[in-house]
Amino acid sequence: MKISDMVAKRTRRLLKGVARSAAVELERLRSIPGTPEELNFFYDVLEAAYVRNDPAPMLDARPDKDLFVGVYCMVVPEELIYAAGAIPVRLCAGCFESSQIGEDRVPRDGCPLVKSSMGLSMQKGLKVFDLCDIVAIPTTCDAKRKLGEELSAFKEVWMIETPHIKDADFSRRIWMEQMYALKAKLETVKRNGTRGKRINARRMAAAIQDTARAQAEMRRLLSLRSAEKPLIWGRQATAVVNAFAYAHVNRWTEAVTRLNNRLAAMAENDQPMADSGRPRIYIAGSPSLFPNLKIPTLVEEMGGVVVADESCAGDRYLYDPVGSTEKNLNDQMLGVASRYLAPCVCPSFTPNDDRLTLIQRMITDFAVDGVLYHVLKGCVVYDFEVNRVENALRNNQIPLLRVETDYNPEDVEQLRTRIEAFIEMLKSKRSRTKQAVS
């Protein structure tokens, strides 16, 4: 067999496997009883990206004419990309099939997110990855730093040096320099005669406003999720935010607005999705990325309900708006730079007491019964902070369960047993508290 035939066969096998896993997860989501039809847009976005392999319509894009910028993590300002006339696509991947391919270049014990992303870049075929003309990667952790080096064999890569001490003057200075360097790079990206547009105050203002509308609806969704009677399942909400990676910001915002209006009506008419007797779970730690939603799914299959999370691909992704509304480009750049550095509580930063404050506030605001701490194997920075989080929660008498996993589906039953025991313990605790009060 020719080498080209072998590559083509391997590509077909990868795409078939990814599409099958995504279709199974989408069918699981769509079959949840009482699912509002307003969720269909987000499922369609994920289906377009991973099953139909045709993401352009959801991105409002012309594959042969538009510029596409792949991004990793949540500290790459998408406002700058839109202002340059390009389309951002978040490439943090959750596919088991591609993580196996990624092991050719990423250590076996490395982060599954990085392995999966690497595999989809090495093995061409999935268009959300193939479309990108350049990939912007922040050096938020060692794995992302080395990912950039390896990816450069397949794509043009723009590394963003990310300072890890946020409050220092030199960090803010370095970060601003990095933002201006990214701006200059985006303005000169070329593809088939199309070049990035010059970023001016008018274009920046429009991009900031578009993103701010998305962030406002995201905060509204979070507010609705804090209701005593759950209006949406956690795995559904995770899919909503995951879909932001593969949809144009304005289309996503319009869809979330419709969903929020529906959830508000459900609250007014006392039509919750789940009963209020379920333990309310907060997921901390590593992100859940489609189609790997096994952690929120297991929590809810075992009798809990995920009311919020702190994930960089979940509730934290779109929470903080840009503070500056100035029309001066320098002030806009300062506002954007501040938004992507100051409020970020990724454990790659140190000191990181802000993260403990955030988690404790969310525990109170969402009346959380227990925290499930999700560690992706090889994600050292999240694992490093588990003891600090557990100690902080002990003061609030909130139990924490740490689970470590990757994208391999074979550990589902083992995880199910542990999560089921955790949920049962929380139910017993709730029952004892209720009896003590009565």
* Residue 291, burial from CB neighbour count under 10 angstroms (0-12, 13-18, 19+): buried
Q: What is the pLDDT of residue 275?
A: 87
Sheet holding 134-138, edge to edge: 87-90, 68-71, 134-138, 157-160
Confidence band for 348, pLDDT divided at 50, 70 and 90 = very high
Question: What is the DSSP annotation of 190-204?
Answer: EETTEEPPP--HHHH
The per-residue pLDDT of the chain, averaged, comes to: 94
Has residue 355 been placed in a domain?
no
Give CA–CA dist 179/330, Å, rounded: 11
CB 154: neighbour CB atoms within 10 A?
15
Has residue 418 been placed in a domain?
no
In the chain, the number of structural domains is 1
Has residue 95 been placed in a domain?
yes
**What are the pLDDT digits (tens) for 295-331?**
999 999 999 999 999 999 988 888 888 876 667 999 9
Report the share of the chain in percent with pLDDT over 90: 88
Strands 305-309 and 280-285: parallel
Contacts of 376 (CB under 8 A, 6+ apart): 111, 112, 113, 285, 286, 287, 382, 404, 405, 406
Has residue 79 been placed in a domain?
yes
Has residue 161 been placed in a domain?
yes
CATH number, position 132: 3.40.50.11890
**What are the pLDDT digits (tens) for 265-300?**
999 999 999 988 999 999 999 999 999 999 999 999
Q: What is the pLDDT of residue 172?
A: 94
Give CA–CA dist 206/197, Å, rounded: 14
**What are the pLDDT digits (tens) for 390-400?**
999 998 899 99
Question: Residue 195: beta bridge partners?
Answer: 190
Has residue 137 been placed in a domain?
yes
Q: What is the pLDDT of residue 320?
A: 85
Contacts of 9 (CB under 8 A, 6+ apart): 1
Confidence band for 234, pLDDT divided at 50, 70 and 90 = very high
**What are the pLDDT digits (tens) for 237-258?**
999 999 999 999 999 999 999 9
**What are the pLDDT digits (tens) for 168-221?**
999 999 999 999 999 999 999 988 788 999 999 999 999 999 999 999 999 999
Contact predicate 332/324, CB 8 Å = yes
Has residue 319 been placed in a domain?
no
**What are the pLDDT digits (tens) for 32-51?**
999 999 999 999 999 999 99
pTM above 0.75, yes or no: yes
What would the two tokens of residue 304 be?
């809990």
Full domain range(s) for residue 120: 59-205
Question: Residue 43: beta bridge partners?
Answer: none
Q: For the chain, what's the residue count?
A: 438
Would you say residue 113 has pLDDT above 70? Answer: yes
CA neighbor of 21 nearest in space, from 74, 93, 78: 93
Contact predicate 148/157, CB 8 Å = yes
Give CA–CA dist 388/123, Å, rounded: 39
Has residue 45 been placed in a domain?
no
